[in-house]
């Protein structure tokens, strides 16, 4: 076996104590992922202990862990090994997307989502959050160590300076990514669009968007065509397939990735027709249906919203995540379904012509602006919540 990073070595012998309960996280990694050995009883005991734990940071972290993340990778590692009022948000170097996200831009956006929810949860709980981003320097090397993305000091708010809870946080459990086709008969009122843009224009990030039919006629086919391009890139397809969890058992086991359930996909997986280790033939039923699904998503967008920054620093990527999660909470408040279409913003050379059209249609200048998030919006049936890892999977104590 090759040499291991300090983090991996640490996990190999990981016996963690949370509030006195013992969690045995075994040897390590299965296909690069955590491999947690726990029986149901131990798990129940742990949850009871966690529930009883008086460390207020855990409740805040649990809320923040409902944050959206690219491919639902949940790339956060939470370090509680320092002082009792400090949370260190680290990036987990084992939870990156080297193909789809070679510069970890989406990873930092995902961590920004986590940070914003943490800060909102703290405020709602009567705590002040003092956040220092990149305390180790502003250009983190993601691998092989797990750099600190933010140091968060949590202090109780004083009675003279009480904190008002952020109303958007009430939507925490309703916020979801909705990949269904959207209702093409329902248009989104302008005032709702305006309120969403308002919610997403924070932390120095600009939100813009459209529900204008003339522009939708350009953007929807653009997304469809870009999806076709995306599907012809076997490396990105394979990376996504590896992170697709089919059926209850796999979803429960991994608690990350893109969860797919239902009789047909589960049957297909049972008979090897839903592969995760190879890219199916381009004309296979599987690939045809993947292409159709993605195209339908583009075709049925009732509107688009994009978040952009002037420049593309790591701090701006974090800020984009902070803005994005607020945008999504606001969308949930207005019963608007939302799905990012990040493949259109990727660095892949084949995507550049589509991206140029996108910048032209959104009237952005790629020399000055960086599109950080692009989402389709509309009305759709609700979808189930996606899985999250347990606190014990990502807290270092």
Pick the stretch among 37-45, 65-73, 136-144, 359-367 that binds ligand FMN (CB under 6 A): 65-73
Query: At closest approach, how far in Å is the CB of 89 from ligand FMN?
Result: 15
Q: Which is nearer to ligand FMN, 188 or 251 (CB)?
A: 251
Q: Which is nearer to ligand FMN, 154 or 331 (CB)?
A: 331
Q: What is the 3-state secondary structure (H, E, C) of the chain?
A: CCCCCHHHHHHHCEEEEECCEEEEECCEEECCEEECCCCHHHHHHHHHHHHHCCCHHHHHHHHHCCCCCHHHCCCEEEECCCCCCEEEEEECCCCCCCCCCCCCHHHHHHHHHHHHHHHHHHHHCCEEEEEEECCCCCCCCCCCCCCEEEEEEEEECCCCCCCCCCHHHHHCCCCCCCCCCCCCCCCCCHHHHHHHHHHHCCCCCEEEEECCHHHHHHHHHHHHHHHHHHHCCHHHHHHHHHCEEEHHHHHHHHCCCEEECCHHHHHHHHCCCCCCCCCCCCCCHHHHHHHHHHHHHHHCCCEEEEEEEECCCHHHHHHHHHHHHHHHHHHHHCCCEEEECHHHHCCCHHHHHHHHHHHHHCCCCCCCEEEEEEEEEECCCCCCCCCCCCHHHHEEC
Select from 4, 16, 153, 179 the one that contacts ligand FMN (CB under 6 A): 179
69 binds ligand FMN (CB under 6 A): yes
200 binds ligand FMN (CB under 6 A): no
343 binds ligand FMN (CB under 6 A): yes
Select from 123, 244, 342, 392 the one that contacts ligand FMN (CB under 6 A): 342
113 binds ligand FMN (CB under 6 A): yes
Distance from C-alpha of 263 to C-alpha of 241, rounded to nearest angstrom: 18
Query: At closest approach, how far in Å is the CB of 114 from ligand FMN?
Result: 9
Query: At closest approach, how far in Å is the CB of 110 from ligand FMN?
Result: 4
316 binds ligand FMN (CB under 6 A): no
176 binds ligand FMN (CB under 6 A): yes
Query: At closest approach, how far in Å is the CB of 69 from ligand FMN?
Result: 5
312 binds ligand FMN (CB under 6 A): no
What token pair was written down for 110?
């995902």
Q: Which is nearer to ligand FMN, 8 or 177 (CB)?
A: 177
68 binds ligand FMN (CB under 6 A): yes
Closest chain position to ligand FMN (CB) = 68
Distance from C-alpha of 330 to C-alpha of 168, rounded to nearest angstrom: 6
Pick the stretch among 53-61, 64-72, 237-245, 247-255 that binds ligand FMN (CB under 6 A): 64-72
Q: Which is nearer to ligand FMN, 119 or 339 (CB)?
A: 339
Q: Which is nearer to ligand FMN, 92 or 106 (CB)?
A: 106
Distance from C-alpha of 275 to C-alpha of 157, rounded to nearest angstrom: 52
Query: At closest approach, how far in Å is the CB of 332 from ligand FMN?
Result: 10
Footprint of ligand FMN on 246-305 (CB under 6 A): 258
Best CA proximity match to 72, nearest among 308, 277, 339: 339
Q: How many residues bind ligand FMN (CB under 6 A)?
A: 19
Q: Which is nearer to ligand FMN, 57 or 322 (CB)?
A: 322
Residues pairing with 207 in the sheet: 307
Q: Convert residues 356-385 into a mask of x (bound to ligand FMN by CB under 6 A) and - (unbound).
A: ------------------------------
Select from 43, 143, 174, 177 the one that contacts ligand FMN (CB under 6 A): 177
Best CA proximity match to 148, nearest among 80, 218, 65: 80
339 binds ligand FMN (CB under 6 A): yes
Select from 206, 229, 386, 392 the one that contacts ligand FMN (CB under 6 A): 386
106 binds ligand FMN (CB under 6 A): yes
Q: Is 376 exposed, middle or buried (0-12, 13-18, 19+ CB in 10 A)?
A: buried
Residues at the interface with ligand FMN (CB under 6 A): 68-72, 106, 109-110, 113, 176-177, 179, 258, 339-343, 386
């Amino acid at each position: 076996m090759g040499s291991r990073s300090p983090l991996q070595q640490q996990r190999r012998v990981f016996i963690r104590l949370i509030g006195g309960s013992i969690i045995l996280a075994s040897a390590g990694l299965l296909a690069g992922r955590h491999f947690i050995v726990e029986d149901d009883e131990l798990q129940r005991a742990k949850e009871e202990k966690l529930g009883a734990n008086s460390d207020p940071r855990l409740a805040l972290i649990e809320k923040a862990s409902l944050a959206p993340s690219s491919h639902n990778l949940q790339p956060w590692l939470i370090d509680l090994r320092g002082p009792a009022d400090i949370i260190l948000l680290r990036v987990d170097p084992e939870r990156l997307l080297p193909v789809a996200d070679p510069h970890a831009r989406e990873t930092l956006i995902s961590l920004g989502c986590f940070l914003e929810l943490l800060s909102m949860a703290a405020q709602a709980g009567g705590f002040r959050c003092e956040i220092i981003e990149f305390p180790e320097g502003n250009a983190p090397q993601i691998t092989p160590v797990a750099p600190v993305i933010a140091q968060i000091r949590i202090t109780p708010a004083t009675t003279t300076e009480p904190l008002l809870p952020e109303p958007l946080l009430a939507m925490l459990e309703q916020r979801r990514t909705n990949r269904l086709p959207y209702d093409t008969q329902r248009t989104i009122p302008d005032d709702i669009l305006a309120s969403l843009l308002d919610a997403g224009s924070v932390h120095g990030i600009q939100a813009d968007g459209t529900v204008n039919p003339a522009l939708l006629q350009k953007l929807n086919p653009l997304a469809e065509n870009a999806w076709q391009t995306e599907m012809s890139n076997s490396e990105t397809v394979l990376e996504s397939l590896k992170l697709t969890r089919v059926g209850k058992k796999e979803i429960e086991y991994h608690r990350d990735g893109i969860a797919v359930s239902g009789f047909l996909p589960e049957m297909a997986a049972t008979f090897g027709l839903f592969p995760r280790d190879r890219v199916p033939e381009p004309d296979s039923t599987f690939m045809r249906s993947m292409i159709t699904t993605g195209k339908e998503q583009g075709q049925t967008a009732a509107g688009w919203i994009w978040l952009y920054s002037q420049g593309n620093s790591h701090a701006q990527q974090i800020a984009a995540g902070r803005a994005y999660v607020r945008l999504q909470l606001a969308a949930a408040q207005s019963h608007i379904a939302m799905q990012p279409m990040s493949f259109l913003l990727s660095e892949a050379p084949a995507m550049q012509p589509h991206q140029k059209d996108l910048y032209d249609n959104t009237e952005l200048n790629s020399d000055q602006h960086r599109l950080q998030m692009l989402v389709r919006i509309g009305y759709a049936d609700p979808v189930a919540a996606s899985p999250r890892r347990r606190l014990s999977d990502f807290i270092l104590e």
